[in-house]
Amino acid sequence: MKQISNKKYEAYQQYQTDMLHGRILTPDGLRVLCASLDNDPEKIGKHMLEMLAKFRSEGLFNVVVEDETDDDPGNGE
């Protein structure tokens, strides 16, 4: 059986906690959000950016941007 690192296990535990507390945006949640903002892309984008700023200021999460300069866009190995 393949083993995972402690870091990956902790990330998975955090995902489970976030899912339990409703911090994961599901497709249905996205549909409700879009419908509540009249499916207007500008309103949706503004709302998402405001929420991102709020969550960052409250320290709820840190956004990690992965380096997309990978020279080999193949299978990710």
Domain boundaries, the chain: 22-58
Name the pLDDT band for 61 (thresholds 50, 70, 90). Answer: low
- The string of pLDDT tens digits covering residues 14-49 is 989 988 887 788 899 899 999 999 999 999 999 999
Q: Is the pLDDT of residue 62 over 60?
A: yes
3-state SS, 21-53, equals CCCCCCHHHHHHHHHHCCCCHHHHHHHHHHHHH
